[in-house]
């Protein structure tokens, strides 16, 4: 897949999955903008010295001003071809143990941030007039809500991301903007291995495999897929 001459925004681009996505995009010739909230995130980016990567300090992506800074601060004269929304957060908890503050935190980090970035991306793509691609990251519990027992707020937020993906896809298809999402199961990352040391890691999808699916959905090679929530479960 060739991303030469295309600009892509990747939220959560300094994390495990985001770094894999960013690396594939840069290798395919894309110009990539990645927001970060703390300096340590930028410093740990494996691609921070790449000439086609712009790391931009922003605040909370659930804040409209921060999102505007991200999309307005993209490299000059480069329109947005694709926007990939990986940023989010996970906190487990039963409904009985989850107060309003915890619920709102999950909604802000996962759903509101995604909504605002989708909104800004659509505006940028409409202004460019050449269409584009949006890829969101939901989660397996968004497709299988019963599996979200014990992480109810997270499940509600990611289910919202799935619903947003499908509704937005219908709104902008006529403009040549294709909107999709992936729904990973637990991915094989160092953090997840540390949290679940007795799990069978061979069953978990690798971040590079999930990233490859995202890359296709964000590419010009994807000409027909829209409104899909693609399961990326591996063998799990």
Tokens of 191: 């953090």
DSSP 63: S
Q: Which two tokens stand for residue 203?
A: 């069953």
Residue 176 exposure: Cα atoms within 13 Å on the Cβ side: 13
Q: Does the active-site annotation cover 154?
A: yes
Where are the alpha helices (H) located in 97-225, listed in sequence order?
Answer: 100-106, 113-128, 140-143, 152-172, 190-195, 207-218
Annotated active-site residue in 36, 71, 81, 154 = 154
Residue 223 in tokens: 């000409």
> Which residues are identified as catalytic?
154
């Amino acid at each position: 897949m060739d991303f030469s001459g295309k600009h892509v925004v990747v939220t959560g681009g300094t994390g495990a999955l985001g770094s894999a996505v960013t690396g594939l995009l840069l290798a395919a010739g894309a110009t990539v903008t990645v927001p970060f909230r703390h300096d340590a995130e930028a410093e740990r980016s494996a691609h921070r010295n790449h000439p086609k990567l712009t790391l931009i300090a922003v605040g909370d992506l659930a804040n409209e001003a921060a999102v505007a800074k991200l999309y307005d601060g993209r490299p000059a004269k480069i329109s947005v071809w694709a926007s990939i929304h990986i940023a989010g957060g996970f906190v487990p908890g039963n409904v009985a143990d989850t107060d309003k503050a915890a619920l709102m935190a999950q909604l802000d980090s996962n759903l509101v941030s995604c909504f605002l970035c989708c909104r800004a991306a659509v505006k940028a793509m409409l202004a460019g007039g050449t269409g584009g691609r949006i890829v969101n990251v939901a989660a397996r519990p968004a497709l299988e809500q019963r599996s979200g027992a014990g992480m109810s707020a997270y499940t509600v937020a990611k289910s919202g991301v799935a619903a947003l993906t499908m509704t937005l896809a219908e709104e902008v298809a006529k403009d040549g903007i294709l909107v999709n999402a992936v729904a990973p199961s637990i991915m094989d990352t160092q953090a997840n291995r540390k949290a679940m040391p007795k799990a069978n890691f061979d069953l978990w999808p690798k971040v590079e495999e999930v990233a490859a699916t995202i890359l296709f959905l964000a590419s010009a090679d994807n000409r027909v897929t829209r409104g899909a929530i693609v399961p990326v479960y591996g063998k799990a």
